[in-house]
Structure 1
């Protein structure tokens, strides 16, 4: 028998889930611990709603509360996230090959997957003394501003590519992609060559990136890159190594149930 309570139906349940994820989405690399007032401000929800959700999420381990009253992401989310095949499953297969590439190049090595219209970084290897780059595991980046993003966009469904082209905004520090037509030609070149080169001259974060696709069978499921914190670096020096590593990971994926 259906309930007459309008707040007890599936719509209310969906709204609750959306609010819970909105609250969890308040946290990022610059806001790892938030007080109730911070959660209220960042979600835009009423304080009473935020307090109720925060208590419920704390009760199930999705949040934890520090002694000073601030909330942080709980270990229960890490436990659940470890089962994500496109995250930790892929990472488990790719990591030995990424470590080899890291030792050969001594540079930053990134692994990313596409999530809708963004690239999501699932792993990064960096030397302790490496020049810093503004990438972190779990970060979402626009697909037109990074090497891994360009590879994923070039191999994405046509509708995803068209949305990327329509939303494209040129970056002042990128001399190669000035218009959407430049981007369209660049994506075609990436598909032909099976690798991408991205260069940024921004003095705050200069870099040259070489990226290649990782496949599970015929489908591109991820992208691998080496990031050198210099815009003058010759990318040809790393193209063979990055492509060979991406192919090795691809071969391993075809014999591993990482996505099962």
Structure 2
């Protein structure tokens, strides 16, 4: 059951956080199950969220995330500054490779709950299908951008990160702390991270961290290609250069 002393904002967040990739549209009954809020309180809250455009009524007496919430999200520095600045360089990387290009940031309330949050994506008709989407998140240890971000963390941060078990996404996922640490050492040595079918079978990713930029979380850019087209010796330098170019543009904009 919800805490009776819980504030309105906390209850609103309890509702909004129910919407996921698997359940983008939810009925009031389902929201009641997920939040534990009393029916009367929930319906008043849904009416308010709908009135302000944070939720929208959908077919089948269900609710979806509203346009106003999307509009507010686009005012985030991740959209206005990072993604908009990165897009021309991501486009050049896509034109050079013809493959999926991803931009992600480290979302880490705590190291043991950290993930890669995808804030930009370019794809084409010839690109291999991926699980990623803008606004979606994936584990750090199974994605190229995630490993690139992990490689920027210090020893204390990584110690806390490894306190939580690493979940296996495919049979190729690295779930051993020792093996992943060795992989991160290789990432630092060559300047870019790789994954081989660790998030999705048949997919290989190559990614590089941007380096620190004031006012923004750690970020990385990468490409995802089919195993048969994965020429790391060619893709690695292209991704590293894209990361450098994006950071340089971000730093120039902030002067």
Distance (Å, rounded) in 1 between the aligned partners of 2:156 and 2:11:
29
Partner of 1:212: 208
User: What displacement does 1:198 show?
Assistant: 0.9
- Please give the secondary structure, in 1, of the residue aligned with 2:220: strand
Query: Is contact 1:61–1:76 with CA below 8 Å preserved after alignment?
Result: yes
| 1:24-173 matches, cutoff 5 A | 24-66=16-58, 68-116=60-108, 117-169=114-166, 171=168, 172-173=170-171
User: What displacement does 1:232 show?
Assistant: 7.2
C-alpha RMSD of the superposition: 2.5
User: What displacement does 1:157 show?
Assistant: 4.6
Query: Is contact 2:118–2:136 with CA below 8 Å preserved after alignment?
Result: yes
| 1:154-233 matches, cutoff 5 A | 154-169=151-166, 171=168, 172-174=170-172, 177-200=174-197, 205-217=201-213, 221-230=218-227, 233=230
Query: Is contact 1:214–1:222 with CA below 8 Å preserved after alignment?
Result: yes
Query: Is contact 1:213–1:220 with CA below 8 Å preserved after alignment?
Result: no
Q: Are residues 1:246 and 2:243 paired?
A: yes
Distance (Å, rounded) in 2 between the aligned partners of 1:165 and 1:57:
39
Give the number of aligned pairs.
Answer: 245
Q: Are residues 1:255 and 2:247 paired?
A: no
Query: Is contact 1:170–1:179 with CA below 8 Å preserved after alignment?
Result: no
Distance (Å, rounded) in 2 between the aligned partners of 1:122 and 1:193:
25
User: What displacement does 1:33 show?
Assistant: 1.8
User: What displacement does 1:38 show?
Assistant: 2.0
Question: Any unmatched runs of 5+ in structure 1?
Answer: 1-6
Query: Is contact 1:112–1:223 with CA below 8 Å preserved after alignment?
Result: yes
Query: Is contact 1:214–1:223 with CA below 8 Å preserved after alignment?
Result: yes
Distance (Å, rounded) in 1 between the aligned partners of 2:229 and 2:241:
23
Query: Is contact 2:127–2:225 with CA below 8 Å preserved after alignment?
Result: no
Query: Is contact 1:144–1:168 with CA below 8 Å preserved after alignment?
Result: no
1:160 to 1:57, Cα distance in 2 relative to 1, 3 A: farther
Distance (Å, rounded) in 1 between the aligned partners of 2:151 and 2:140:
9
TM-score, length of structure 2 as denominator length? 0.86
1:191 to 1:220, Cα distance in 2 relative to 1, 3 A: farther
TM-score, length of structure 1 as denominator length? 0.84
The structure that has the greater radius of gyration is 1
Q: How far does the alpha carbon of each residue in 1:119-177 deviate from its partner, in whole angstroms, 9 at most, with x for none? A: 100011111343311111111111111011111122135443223222242635227x3
Query: Is contact 1:208–1:230 with CA below 8 Å preserved after alignment?
Result: yes
Query: Is contact 1:134–1:205 with CA below 8 Å preserved after alignment?
Result: no
- Please give the secondary structure, in 1, of the residue aligned with 2:227: coil
